[in-house]
Amino acid sequence: MARKGRMNTFVQELKNRRVYRVSLAYLVAGSAAVQVVGTVLPTFHAPDWAQQVFVVLIAMGFPMALVLAWSFDVKEGSIKKTGPGRGSTAVANQRRVWILGAVGSLVAASGVAGYWLWHPWTTASQIERTAVFVVPEKSIAVLPFGNLSDDKQNAYFADGVQDEILTDLAKVADLKVISRTSVMQYKSGVTRNLREIARELGVAHVVEGSVQRSGNRVRVSAQLIDARTDMHLWAERYDRDLADVFAIQSEIAKTIADELEAKISPSEKAAIEKPPTADLAAFDLYERAKAIWADVTDPLHAKEKLPQAARLLDEAVARDPHFLQAWCLLSRVHGTFYWYGFDHTSARLDLANAAVQTALRLQPDSGEAHLALANYYYYGFRDYGRAGSELAIARRTLPNNAEVFVYTGFINRRQGHWAEATGNLERALELDPRNLFTLQQLASYTYQPQRRYADAVRTYDRALTIVPGDPLTRINRAEVALDWRADIKPYQTMLATLTAEDSSVAPDVDHPDYALCERTAAAAARALTNYPRDGLPNNYGVNCPHAYWEGVVARWQGDSAKAHAAFTAARSDVEKTLEKQPDFAAALSLLGMIDAGLGRKEEALREGRRACELLPISKDAITGTAFAVHLAHIYAWTGEKDLAIEQIAAVERAPNVLSYGFLKLHPYWDSLRGDPRFEKIVASLAPKS
């Protein structure tokens, strides 16, 4: 009874002190504030954790409001401490202990929640990794089919059969289908651990099969397996005329979808039943071109491979002018040739446009054609609005196409929407989890510009579980330490390891920019030896001559005569490009840096500024920002120290190529060292722990 009396007294005291009223008002106001913030923050592309932090702060304020309501009253326009309530001192003391304990528990709980959400080492990606990943029931990977033909040249044919089944299944929105790049890594002819493969790909089911082609006959075997239990759910063998091979593929895809109880719309069914071509020779040429295209991931190797793919595709469409997929791929090959700067002319773009327009005439609602058109606008014109619209159309009929999400992420990135870019690239990796190119894009060009270095390292480590010996991934991972902490040693160690293993990789992994950050004559000489004599396309689509880097090194070493000769040679090379394309921003930006090295100040400033006008940050948040950094470099080399520092200060606020290590170590910025304004910027980028 005594305990009940004390509780009644305590409840009455809560009413007297208006604690109930304050708590209700706080909850209503806090809820409204959370709703407003949840609406406003996405408009400014704020990171996901910003809203989480706001919610935690609101929660932590609640117990404080209760304490204040208990302890103080508002009377006659002033705040006064609440006097003791009715009852004995002992009861008041017990009541005080009770309320302080309750408030303490609330504060502790809020603190724990705040620590979990806002711990300085916690990232959104790390939180995601703590979640339990549930494999969708209707998920599947179609593994490479075995080639049982006597003629091993039929391997492309076997790959084509498997790829068409995968492509047909991927048209079903009710399924999750893993993309070709990831599944092709699990070659046929070897013992497969299906449970492990399914775990790595994030699927519940796998399809295995084989193809045997003999004369005008073909035998296709396929089986559907629940990889979680190794149970065979369905198997069939088809022995038919070679001309029926596409019908076999469609039949297999529809049967598998039925076995998984996937809903297939009438339009999806029609798409599955439509054969890609009636010409098997054209199909073989297309598959060969597709295999070459799959290996084109960087400018260094693309110059040789892209023309090979184009020739094969030209032959394919000559045999079958109605071969839509071949026209789409041909357009993309020409567009990439233009983007990489191998042929940055309107004639090359005309070839890309002619191919994609042919595809659209053949099938206006084709997702593949709209994906190719999106690539045309992206690579040919940097028209990210129209490219995005085409990707939205493509997504309707290509629900499992990882490239749609990759290129949407690329567009987000170019528009400066970094959170959306990250989300789309991560979504692409759900559909194509072992795609090295996408992993590198996420790490190098998405996480690192945002200075999310821990996430970049984690992504590189993930890539290295797929290709443990890949030189580019290994050196990129080592470069993170330089950008993050101005620590050059991991780069030096990895470079020595890679070139000792295989000296031929040196041009791929020893870039002059990083060698210059070593700040030794030996490192600079080594990088010049490894850099291709005929130059190398930079990240912005223009060939950067060997002579440019000779000039940079000579200038840093104080050899004015040698620097002048080298920059003069480089200028002649870049001018040839500008004669054909006078408004090529990448070439103008490079020419501006060359002229700065030659002491041609007025020309250098005009060229650097013109490049920024042609491609401002508002139009391209990646390349536009890079040209703004180049302009800062031009200012620094031409003695415009104030302008250089102002330019760096303006650029470094947003995600960009400038890093702590690059500013601290690279010779480009030596003329700015010692200026308090520059040193303050460098210090602001230093790691905080």
Per-residue model confidence (pLDDT) at position 60 = 72
198 in Cβ contact with 182 (< 8 Å): no
Cα separation, 656 vs 445, in Å, equals 9
Query: Which residues on neighbouring strands pair with residue 220, listed in sequence order?
Result: 211, 238
Residue 500 makes CB contacts below 8 A (sequence gap 6+) with none
**Which tokens go with 225?**
């397996």
**Looking at residue 92, what is its pLDDT?**
47
* SS3 category, 634: helix
In this structure, are strands 72-75 and 536-537 parallel, antiparallel, or unpaired?
A: unpaired
Q: What is the pLDDT of residues 508-567, one digit of tens each?
A: 999 999 999 999 999 999 999 999 999 988 888 889 999 999 999 999 999 999 999 999
Identical fold for domains 139-273 and 512-685, yes or no, is no
What pLDDT sits at residue 100? 44
pLDDT of residue 76: 52
Residues of the chain with pLDDT under 50: 1-4, 7, 39-49, 86-105, 107-109, 111-132
Residue 443 DSSP class: I
Whether 63 contacts 106, CB under 8 Å: yes
Q: For 293-398, CATH number?
A: 1.25.40.10
> What pairs with residue 330 in β-bridges?
none
For 230, 240, 530, 531, 556, the CA distances from 524, given in Å and listed in that order, are: 56, 64, 10, 11, 10
Cβ atoms 510, 530 nearer than 8 A? yes
Which pair of structure tokens corresponds to residue 42?
Answer: 């996405």
Query: For residue range 414-449, what is the model confidence (pLDDT) as tens digits?
Result: 999 999 999 999 999 999 999 999 999 999 999 999
Residue 421 tokens read as 């870019």
The conformation of residue 447, written as its DSSP 8-state character, comes to I
Question: Angle 601-614/585-598 helices, nearest 10 degrees?
Answer: 160
DSSP string, 307-332: HHHHHHHHHHHHH-TT-HHHHHHHHH
Owner of token pair 């194509």: 432
User: Residue 13 and residue 265: Cα distance in Å, rounded?
Assistant: 65
Collapse the DSSP code of 240 into the 3-class scheme (helix H, G, I; strand E, B; otherwise coil) and give the result: strand
As a whole number of angstroms, the distance between CA 459 and CA 375 comes to: 26
Q: What CATH code is assigned to 139-273?
A: 3.40.50.10610
CATH class of segment(s) 512-685: mainly alpha
- Distance spanning both ends of the chain, measured CA to CA: 58
Q: 3-state class of 154 per DSSP?
A: helix
The structure tokens 């000769």 sit at 565
pLDDT, residue 112, reads 45
The residue written with tokens 């369905």 in the block is: 234
How does DSSP classify residue 632?
H
Q: For residue 134, how many C-alpha atoms fall within 13 Å in the half-sphere facing its CB?
A: 3
| Structure token pair of residue 151 | 């003629």
Nearest to 556 by CA among 529, 511, 521, 589: 521
3-state helix, strand, coil in the chain (%, to 5): 70, 5, 25
DSSP annotation of 203 reads -
HSE of 284, CA atoms in CB hemisphere, 13 A: 9
And the tokens for 409? 């992420």
* Other Cβ atoms closer than 10 A to 519: 14
600, 551 contact by CB (below 8 A): no
Domain residue spans in the chain? 2-119, 139-273, 293-398, 512-685
CA distances from 383 to 318, 619, 622 (A): 31, 9, 14
Q: Please tell me the pTM assigned to this model.
A: 0.79
In this structure, the number of other CB atoms found within 10 A of the CB of residue 15 comes to: 10
CA dist., res. 588 & res. 482, Å (int): 29
Q: For residue 629, count other CB atoms closer than 10 A to its CB.
A: 19
The burial class, CB within 10 Å (0-12 / 13-18 / 19+), for 508 is middle
Longest dimension (CA), the chain: 104
Q: Residue 230: phi, psi to the nearest 5?
A: 65, 20
